[in-house]
């Protein structure tokens, strides 16, 4: 990853950025991630998705973490339709509080999210101890109005998805690896693009047994929007339990179990299919490529130097 290291160095990111200003920063994040993962296994998946949503919209700058604040003119990116189903932001606040107790005003929320994602991925079977460069600063604005321009829809074409990832410097091989993250987590039945593949007839690309399983999970062509008391969803791996999720290569899409249309498209598009087959056959190769792509994504357009700020609270911009 020499080229990536050179680019990061030029941008102001470096390994062990907090070694002098907050020596235990990465250790604190790792400790907190383990605590929260022990209580709620879906936190690791949440952080991975959050990092993608944060980085693909202009920059890895924690703009996603800002909550709506009318007085400050902020409309949260979390309220975009593309952010439907995102959760567990409160645990980010817990990690930030721990960092602030140790080193007030030092560690950015952008770096926190990168490090929490790295450590969470390791807990669900992904690459361990990925060297992640730090030194990002936090955005002073939300980009709510631009989320849909940057974040692809679940069932966009492979071409669209490749183009969006390419804007972050992630190539087709890296896209296949990162979308291996869809082997964990879930899709809500309220997602129209999922039920459209099940009704009035099950999409022929689905393995028949898997298609029948999805119909049981999502029994209506017109599901109501989820509430905290009524959540219906489906997983890519029908055998996965909520507390036993494991990130892995895209083997499931070769078996006709690609929950999202774009996942299934990776198996047939000539630009991605060779990587799907290779990763499905070689887990070590998948892990290596996932790690490289995660680093590349995490270093998209960081704010460094005197740009942005170090937020005291990840939910809101510092008051001047």
Name every residue whose Cβ is closer than 8 Å to that of residue 62 and which is 6 or more positions away in sequence. Answer: 54, 108, 109, 110, 112, 113, 136, 138, 139, 311, 314
Alpha carbon 86 to its chain centroid, in Å, reads: 10
Q: Cite the DSSP H helix spans in the chain.
A: 2-11, 25-39, 43-56, 89-102, 109-123, 147-150, 158-166, 172-178, 192-195, 208-217, 251-254, 261-266, 273-281, 283-298
- Specify whether the CB–CB gap between 260 and 193 falls below 8 A: yes
Q: What is the SS3 assignment for 211?
A: helix
| 182 assigned to active site | no
Cα distance between residue 107 and residue 109, in whole Å: 7
Active-site entry in 36, 53, 154, 182 = 53
Q: Which residues carry out catalysis? A: 53
């Amino acid at each position: 990853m020499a080229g990536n290291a050179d680019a990061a160095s030029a941008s102001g990111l470096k390994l062990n950025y907090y070694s002098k200003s907050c020596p235990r920063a990465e250790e604190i994040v790792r400790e907190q991630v383990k605590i929260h993962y022990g209580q709620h296994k879906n936190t690791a998946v949440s952080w991975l998705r959050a990092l993608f949503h944060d980085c693909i919209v202009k920059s890895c700058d924690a703009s996603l973490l800002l909550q709506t604040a009318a007085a400050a003119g902020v409309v949260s990116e979390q309220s975009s339709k593309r952010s439907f189903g995102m959760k567990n932001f409160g645990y980010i606040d817990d990690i930030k509080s721990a960092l602030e107790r140790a080193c007030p005003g030092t560690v950015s929320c952008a770096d926190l999210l990168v490090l929490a994602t790295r450590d969470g991925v390791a807990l669900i079977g992904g690459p361990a101890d990925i060297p992640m460069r730090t030194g990002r600063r936090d955005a002073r604005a939300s980009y709510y109005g631009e989320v849909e321009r940057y974040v692809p829809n679940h069932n966009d074409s492979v071409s669209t998805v490749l183009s969006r990832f390419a804007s972050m410097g992630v190539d087709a091989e890296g896209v296949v690896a990162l979308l291996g993250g869809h082997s964990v987590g879930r899709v809500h039945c309220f997602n129209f693009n999922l039920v459209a593949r099940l009704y009035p007839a099950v999409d022929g690309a689905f393995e028949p047994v898997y298609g029948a399983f999805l119909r049981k999970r999502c029994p209506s062509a017109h599901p109501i929007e989820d509430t905290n008391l009524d959540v219906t969803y489906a997983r890519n791996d029908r055998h996965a339990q909520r507390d036993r999720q494991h990130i892995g290569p895209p083997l499931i899409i070769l078996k006709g179990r690609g929950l999202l249309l774009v996942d299934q498209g990776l198996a047939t598009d000539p630009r991605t299919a060779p990587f799907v087959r290779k990763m499905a056959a070689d887990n070590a190769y998948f892990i290596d490529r996932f790690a490289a792509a995660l680093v590349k994504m995490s270093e998209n357009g960081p704010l460094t130097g005197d740009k942005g700020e170090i937020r005291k609270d990840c939910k809101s911009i510092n008051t001047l």
